[in-house]
Chain A
Amino acid sequence: MENDAVIQIRNLTKIYRDFWGRKKVLALNSLSLDVNKGEIFGLLGPNGSGKTTTMKLLLGLLFPTDGKISILGKEASNVEKNERIGYLPEESYLYRFLNAEETLDFYGQLFDMPASQRREQTDRLIKSVGLDFARRRQLKEYSKGMTRRIGLAQALINDPELVLLDEPTSGLDPLGTRDMKDMILKLRDEGKTVVMCSHLLADVQDVCDRIAILYEGELKQLGRVDELLKEQDVTQLLTSRLDDAVVRDIEEVLKKHNAQLKSIDHPTNSLEDLFLKTVKESVERPGRRFLPDEAAQPDASEGNGQSPSESASQTPAESGEQTSQAESEKPDEAQPAS
């Protein structure tokens, strides 16, 4: 085993059989891969591709039909490995009749932690996942996002070296998704190894260092995210805002060198960025509302032809001025030219 390989999988095969032992599904076919220390590793694939099966084989919830798994130098069936592992299941399979404090205390006890350490960890984790306001509420009263947060907290109760996250962002709203992704990145910054499986590609792209793509139980791609996504036959330039004359000059230069210009445009933010920005502003400026007339009559708005009520509901930073402000806040984001 390599020194920095936290997980080593060799020829892992899993066949689900029926009651009579007949082959039902080949869930995983001869999978081999390594996960290195301190990286965020993503297992990607459509539903039924074998990523959750891989995760459950790693945890010993399933037994392999063939092949070997080594986690933190121990076999998957070895219970002692779990002392250094944290696991967030796809659904937060927690006891719904417990509250947040009881949940974390219970899982802390399973790690044989003394009471003082459990209290300290429970308090710290509840605060870090933002559930301080609901620490005494039973989990059955929690929303999906809150359940995922307490699920993550229980996965971190033992300060694990390796964190396995099964669909960590599924069912979360964009804010929750952002928080989860931030927490995953923070875990890596703390030196932990993270393995996550997801079919939400944008989330994986945002946080993972390396990915494996599975399809019908077989490994189809494996490598660093940036290398796998890089298009070698396309060049992208990013500059600050250019005048039309400069753009025309650039086009001339490209023509001169027989380069094919594919597009020249202003970049757009992602929908996630827009959403997060809107929510952030709503928090900062309570009472602001979006008025449909503003969207329907942009010209009138620009011409200061608003009704008195509309004027009262908007701040000076909004409408046309808002765009320029956003651009000035993000000086690095300029239009691409290719």
Chain B
Amino acid sequence: MDFDPEPYELLPAVLHYIAAVGSLLFVVALVAVIWSLASRGRSGPAALIEGIKKGCRDFAQISPRRVWALSMLTIREALRRKALMVFVVFAVLFMFAGWFLQQATDRPDLQVEVYVSFVLKAITWLVLPVVMILACWGLPEDIRARSLHTVVTKPVRRSEIVLGRIIGFISVSTLILLIMGGVGYVWILRQVPDPSYLVSRVPIYGKLRYTNRLGDERNAIGLEYDYSINVGDIWEFRNYIEGGTKSRALWYFEGMDADDFDDKLIIETGFESFRTHKGDMDRGLLARLNIMNAETGLQVPLQPFTVEEYTQNLHEIPRKLQYFDEDTQDFREVDLFEDLVYDGTLKIAVECLDANQYIGMARPDLFIRLPDRSFFAGYSKAILGIWLMLSIIVVIAVSASCFVKGPVAVLLTFSFLILGQPFRSFMEKMVTGEQEGGGPLEAWYRLIHHLNTTSELPASLLTNAMKFIDQILLNFLWVMQNLIPNFEHFRMSPYVANGFDVPWSAAMLPSLVVTIAYLLPCVLIGYFSLAMRELESK
């Protein structure tokens, strides 16, 4: 597996959220007070407080029936504006996709990956633009056609309009998604040549550390080795251990409880080999797992195994293990959980047995495999992930449409989407200074003067001014980075495509938290934008 699901830290995320929203509220309040003073004089702040009170009353008096009516109107509007035409494109795509995808690879696990990725990506990128455009154009079109005027002359609160629109568009996306998801599921079942590969594996990942070739777990200053040998692979996802030495990869699994397992433990590995000489080309490199007690140092070696690359290597470890005790020169039996698990932690050391050969591994390359779940369970969670992403897009789009016109709202929402997903890592590198070449002005300067990104800029007033302006822009980028949602959380297709269940902690929880976190501020922005707006303004 080439991705590493990191558990989501909820508490730091919530604290960060409170800090970000608090800062934003402070800035907004400051601007609002200055604006009210400028426009209304000394009575401005009082009017501002009255406006906030009115807003609170409006939210407290929301009528579910009116919200429902506005939601149903939105659904009818979307359906009668032929939003379901997206199914035609979907149908055409799926009618012919099989021709091109079935020849992609011979390996059944990769075929599953190709089909599942295709279905989930097709659904995402067909529904997303439709829902985004509908949500961005809905309110501005209502204002332009003045049908909203008739609505607001009824006892309808602006908050109900915003909520009604959001719920309506989310309902539309739900309907489309359910149909497409169902069709996609059936299509995958029919296309995949070997349905036994359609599973949702449930992994437990551990913490990975290394020892050096002398077997030391810590370096000279007492730090654990969280890296090992780099064989020159430009992508440093995996570190390599050297065969025939004391170099080990150490996995620590915490929270191990015997009650959670049957009388055996299944370990799955997926290592990569790196050969410095041909060796025996007809067999893979030899490796061995050692189960260790982290406290006593008791070590039970398992049978060596051949590293089969690009496939699943399963190791079944019985609860009762026998090993040859060097001290007593006799075989001993130990209990996996009673003798080898210390303080809930299981330690597994991996060694390469072929001298001068290397085995590469990353954290997710070895995991404890719990009983599999059905493919449908994982697939449904991936669809839920798409739904959450669509929901957050709808929330942002409706809020944007409360203060700008349709095309601008589309542009704004699309920018959020682009900056929140493909450009996210680039933006983070820019903000942290990891991206070499400086800010935009410095980059221009380097381009014009044919300077590479690592050479120092000549010290001058111009370059100092450039760096100063760049810093301001980068600070703005930092603010944007904290405001724009991280859409990477919503990408659940890699899990399902690689045959895994979608994990709660690494995927479901963050996507859910991000969606909820954006809902309230966006509704507030939408409400106040609409409430302060003269609908009939010339």
Contact = CB atoms under 8 A, between A and B. Distances in A.
Contact of A110 (B155, B534, B537): B155
Given A61-B536, A154-B150, A95 B77 contact: yes
A80 interface: yes
B149 interface: yes
Contacts of A98: 73, 76
B154 A97 contact: no
B63 interface: yes
Contacts of A336: none
Contacts of A111: 154-155
B278 interface: no
A234 to B, nearest CB: 43
B68 A87 contact: no
Interface string B334-358: 0000000000000000000000000
Interface in A53-80: 56, 59-63, 79-80
B152 interface: yes
Contacts of A91: 146
Contacts of B150: 87, 89, 93-94, 107, 154
A85 B152 CA distance: 12
Nearest to A98: B76
A121 interface: no
A109 interface: yes
Given A63-B534, A97-B80, A107 B146 contact: no
Nearest to B70: A110
B151 A110 contact: yes
Contact of B66 (A89, A95, A97, A112): A112
Central interface residue in A62, A80, A95, A110, by most chain B CB within 10 Å: A110
B115 to A, nearest CB: 38
Contacts of A95: 73, 77, 147
B264 to A, nearest CB: 60
B13 interface: no
Band of interface residues on B: 20 to 34
Interface in A85-144: 85, 87, 89, 91, 93-95, 97-98, 102, 106-107, 109-112
Contacts of B152: 59-61
B156 A79 contact: yes
A93 B149 contact: yes
A97 B76 CA distance: 8
Contacts of A109: 65-66, 68-69
A158 B80 CA distance: 27
Nearest to B150: A93
Interface string A289-302: 00000000000000
Interface in B131-159: 145-147, 149-157
B535 interface: yes
A83 interface: yes
A147 B433 CA distance: 62
Contact of B149 (A63, A82, A83, A89): A89
A24 interface: yes
Nearest to A154: B150
B316 to A, nearest CB: 62
B283 interface: no
B538 interface: yes
A110 B69 contact: yes
B508 to A, nearest CB: 35
B63 A112 contact: yes
Interface string B510-538: 00000000000000000000000011111
A25 B76 contact: no
Given A97-B80, A111-B155, A56 B536 contact: yes
Contact of B153 (A24, A62, A82): A82
A164 to B, nearest CB: 8
A10 B421 CA distance: 55
A16 interface: yes
A79 B157 contact: yes
B495 to A, nearest CB: 40
A62 B66 contact: no
B520 to A, nearest CB: 22
A94 B147 contact: yes
B103 to A, nearest CB: 45
A106 B153 contact: no
A89 B77 contact: no
Contacts of B153: 59-61, 82, 85, 87, 89
A290 B112 CA distance: 81
A106 B155 contact: no
Nearest to B68: A109
Contacts of B66: 109-110, 112
Given A89-B150, A97-B77, A83 B537 contact: no
A63 B538 CA distance: 12
Contacts of A63: 534
A109 B73 CA distance: 11
Contacts of A158: 154
A124 B80 CA distance: 27
Contacts of A59: 152-153
30 contacts: A16-B537, A16-B538, A24-B538, A59-B153, A60-B152, A61-B149, A61-B153, A61-B534, A61-B535, A62-B536, A79-B155, A82-B156, A87-B150, A87-B153, A91-B146, A93-B145, A94-B150, A95-B73, A95-B147, A97-B76, A102-B76, A106-B72, A107-B154, A109-B65, A109-B68, A110-B155, A111-B154, A112-B63, A112-B155, A154-B150
Given A59-B153, A89-B150, 8 more contacts: A16-B537, A56-B536, A63-B534, A95-B147, A97-B80, A102-B76, A109-B65, A110-B66
